[in-house]
Chains A and B, each alone.
Chain A
Amino acid sequence: MKYIPLSALVGLAITAAYFLMALFAPVISPYGMAEVVGSVWEPSSAEHLLGTDNIGRDLLSRMIYGGRTTIFIATAATILSFTTGAILGFLAAVLGGLWDQVLSRFVDLLMSIPTLIFALVVLSVMPVTIPVLIVVMGLLDSTRVFRLARAVAVDINVMDFVEAAKLRGEGRGWIIFREILPNALSPLVAEMGMRFIFMVLFVSTLSFLGLGVQPPGADWGGIVKENKDGIVYGIGAALYPAVAIATLAISVNLVADWILNRTTSLKGGRGG
C-alpha cells in the first residue's frame, strides 16, 4: 500500500493531463494549428471554446499545439541540463583537486553572465531552430544543476560507505553511479521540477522576444506576444498562456515536493 497525499494526487493529475494533451495534440485539438477559421478576436463560443486569436485562428487549438511545443522543448532541455550538469557535478566531487577547481570556476564564469542575455546573444548569431533552442537552454541551465549535484555529491562522497567502496578498490564508475547517484537522486528530482518550470518560462520569454519558436509555429510565449495588443481592448486571449504556465508550475512542484518529502534523509528505506 503506497500512501499519496492529496496535494501530490492533484499535482500528478494536472501534470499528467498537460503531458497527455501535449502528446495527443493532433487528436484532441478541434482545428489545425495555423488554420484561420474565424474573424479576429472572436469571443468564446460553442465552436471556439476560448475564442479566436489576432488573425482568426482557433485559440484552444493554438494553446494545445503551443503547449506541445513548449512542454517538448522544456522537457528535452531539462533532460539535457540534468545529464550534463549531474555527471559533471559528480565527477568534480569525486575527482576533487584540480578537476574540481577547473570545472567549478568555469561554471562560475558562465553563471556570472545573465542567462537570458547570454541566450539572446547566442541565438541572434545562430539559426533559431528547435534543436538549437534546446541545446542552448539545456547547457546554460546545466550550470545550476552542476552546482547542486556537486554540493550533494561532496556530502555523500565523505560518507563511510563511499570510503568502504574505495577501500574495496571500486572504480569511479561504480562510485558515481552505484554509491552516489542513488542517494543524490531525491534532491535532484525535486530540483528537476523547479528547473522544468524555469525552462517553460525561459522558452516562453525567448518566444515573446521573438528569438524562440518562430511563426507560424505556436508556443505559449508566442501566443502572449501575438495577442498582447488585445489586452488594451479588453480581450483576454493573452492571459490563457499565463494561466496554463501557472497551473503547470504549481502542479509540477506539488509532485516534486512530495518526492522530496518521501526521501529527504539519507536513511533511505523502501521509499526510493
Chain B
Amino acid sequence: MADTLLDIKNLKIEATAYPPGEPPQDITIVEGVDLRLEKGKVLGLIGESGAGKSTIGLSAMNYGRGGVRITGGEINLNGRDIRKLSLRGLRAMRGAEVTYVAQSAAAAFNPAKKLMEQIVEATLAHKRASKKEAEARAVELFRKLGLPDPESFGNRYPHQVSGGQLQRAMTALALCPQPDLVVFDEPTTALDVTTQIDVLAAIKEAIADTGVAALYITHDLAVVAQVSDNIMVLRGGNMVEYGSTEQIINDPQEEYTQALVSVRSIEHEEKQPAPEPVLKVQNINARYSGTKFDVLKNVNVELSPGQTLAVVGESGSGKSTLARVITGLLPPRDGKIIFDGRELNADQASRPREDLRELQMIYQMADTAMNPRQTVGTIIGRPLEFYFGLKGRKKRERIQELLDEIELGEGFVDRYPAELSGGQKQRVCIARALAAKPKLIICDEVTSALDPLVADGILKLLLRLQKIEDVAYLFITHDLATVRAIADSIAVMYQGEVVRYGTKSDVLAPPFDAYTDLLLSSVPEMKLGWLEEVIAHRRMESAGH
C-alpha cells in the first residue's frame, strides 16, 4: 500500500444536459468506478466515445470540464483526498503534482509565445525550480523525447514545428515540473500513423526514464497495449474489465473486451482486376486556385467494376484531393477521367444528371454530411425523387427497403440526424448513396471518425452491399488495417504522387519501397512488445546503412 499514488474509490460524476425544448436534466456520466495506480506505473483507460475515459482521467486532478461535476466517491492522491482540497490547494496540486497532455497540442499551445516559455511556465509558477534549472530540464527532456536541436528547440513558436514534434513538446511541458502523475488524453490520436509511432516511443521512453506514473487514455487498444502496465476497459461510464496488459490482450474475460481485441479481423478475398475498368484516372495533375503547387502529380489509377480500390496515405498526401477531382469539384489542370467507358466533364456543374447519379460519395463526418433539419426519410428519399421521380407509396417502400439493407429497422424514417448514433448516421449516408443506384461510391475516410467496433460494423456492411449491388468503391483512408480488410487493389500516395499501386497482394508483399515499408510497419498491432520490435528493427536498419 505504501507506494499507492492514486486511489479512486466509488467515483460518481454527473453533468447537466440541456436537450432542446425540454427542461434541463441531470445525467450520470461515470458511476461506481474504482481505480488504483502505483508509483511509476502506467494505467491505460480504454473505451469508445462516451465511455467516460477522459472524464475519469481529469478527475485525477479533481477537475470537471464545463458542466461536469464530481458528485461522489474519494480521489486519494499521495494519501490525501483531493476532493476536499480548497481551490488554493487544487491550484498548488494541478500543474505540479499532476499534469495533463491534451489530444490536440496544436490547440493547447499559445501560438503567440515561444515553446520554452510555455514549457517552463508551470514549473516556475509552482516554484519547483529556478528559471535556469527549469530550462536545463526542458532541454534534457527535448533530448529524451528525440526532438531536433534540443538546445534551440524551445526558441521556436508552435507553428514552426510539426504536429508530432508539438505533441512531444507537450509531453515535455507535462514532465518538466517533475510531477508524480501525468494524464495523457489521446496524445497520438490526431497524428498520422507514421508520426504516432515516434511519439509513442518517445512517450514510453520518457515515462520509463523519469519514473513518473501515468494515466493513458485512448480508444485504440493496440496503442495502449504498447505503453501501459495495466488496462481498464470502460463502457458507458462503468468499468467492464480490469487487468494486466498481458491478460487483457491475450486472455480477455468479458465479451466486450474480446470484441475490442478481435476488432479489425475482417477477411476479404481479393478479386482479380476485370478487363474493362469502371473508372480510369489518367495523368491527372491538379492544384488549388491561387497556389503554385501541384497537389496531385501525374496520378494514374484504375478501378474494376464491383471492386474496391483503397487510396492510402497520410494527411497532405493528396488522397482527398483525388476524390474532389473525380467528383468534379476541383477540375484538374490536365488529365482525363474515364468513367464507364466515357470521359467525364472536368467541372461537376457541367456533368449530365446520369453521370452525377452513377458516382456517389460518402463523407468522413456523417454529422455534417446530412442536413440537420431533414428527416432520414427526406434524406434518403430525395435522390429517389430527384433521379427516378419516385413519389408517394413507391418512394416510401423503396426508402424502407434501403433502411432494411443498411440494417436499420422500422421507425427510423421520421427521425432527425441528431437522434441517431454515429454509426447509424454513417449508415444513413450509405443508404443515401445507394439510393441513386451508383456504379461507383467514393468513401472518404468513412470509418475514421467512428469507434473501432462501430467502424467494423460499417466495413462489414459495405462489403455485404458490394456483393448485392455490385458497386465499386474508391476507398480513401489513412488506416492500413481498414485497407487489409476490404481492398482489392491499393494505391499508396505520398506528397501528391502514387508511389505504389497494384493488387492488394502485390502491394502488401515485399520488396517494399521505403515509404510503404514505413507506413506498413507503423500500424499498431494488437500484441505486446510490438513497439520495441519495430523501433529496434528501424535502428538496426539505419545502423546498417
Contact = CB atoms under 8 A, between A and B. Distances in A.
Contacts of B483: none
A1 B22 CA distance: 8
A46 interface: no
A268 B416 contact: yes
A167 interface: yes
B356 A168 contact: yes
Interface stretch (A100-108, A157-165, A248-256): A157-165
A2 to B, nearest CB: 6
B369 A164 contact: yes
Nearest to A182: B373
Interface stretch (B193-201, B335-343, B360-368): B360-368
B371 A179 contact: yes
A132 B108 CA distance: 55
Given A160-B369, A182-B371, A262-B20, A269 B419 contact: yes
Interface in A4-43: none
Interface in A129-169: 159-161, 163-164, 166-169
A167 B369 contact: no
Contacts of A182: 371, 373-374
A3 interface: yes
Nearest to B442: A167
A204 interface: no
Nearest to B351: A169
B327 interface: yes
Tell me which of A3, A160, A269 has the highest count of chain B C-beta atoms within 10 A of its own C-beta.
A160
B383 interface: yes
Contacts of A159: 368
A169 B353 contact: yes
Nearest to B22: A3
A268 B418 contact: yes
Given A164-B363, A169-B386, A263-B20, A269 B418 contact: yes
Interface band, chain A: 20 to 34
A165 B383 CA distance: 9
A271 interface: yes
B361 A167 contact: yes
B448 to A, nearest CB: 14
Contacts of B432: 164
A161 B371 contact: yes
Nearest to A269: B418
B372 interface: yes
A162 to B, nearest CB: 8
Contacts of B329: 163, 166-167
Interface in B400-440: 416-419, 432, 436
Interface in B369-389: 369-374, 382-383, 386
Contact of B373 (A2, A3, A170, A183): A183
A3 B353 CA distance: 45
A4 to B, nearest CB: 9
A160 B444 CA distance: 12
A160 to B, nearest CB: 4
A161 B369 contact: yes
Given A2-B21, A169-B353, A269-B419, 20 more contacts: A1-B22, A3-B22, A160-B363, A160-B368, A164-B369, A164-B432, A167-B329, A167-B348, A167-B356, A168-B382, A168-B386, A169-B356, A178-B371, A179-B371, A182-B371, A182-B374, A262-B20, A267-B418, A269-B416, A269-B418
Interface of B: 20-23, 327, 329, 348, 351, 353, 356-357, 360-361, 363, 365, 367-374, 382-383, 386, 416-419, 432, 436
14 contacts: A3-B21, A164-B363, A166-B348, A167-B327, A167-B329, A169-B351, A178-B371, A182-B373, A183-B373, A267-B367, A268-B373, A268-B416, A270-B20, A270-B21
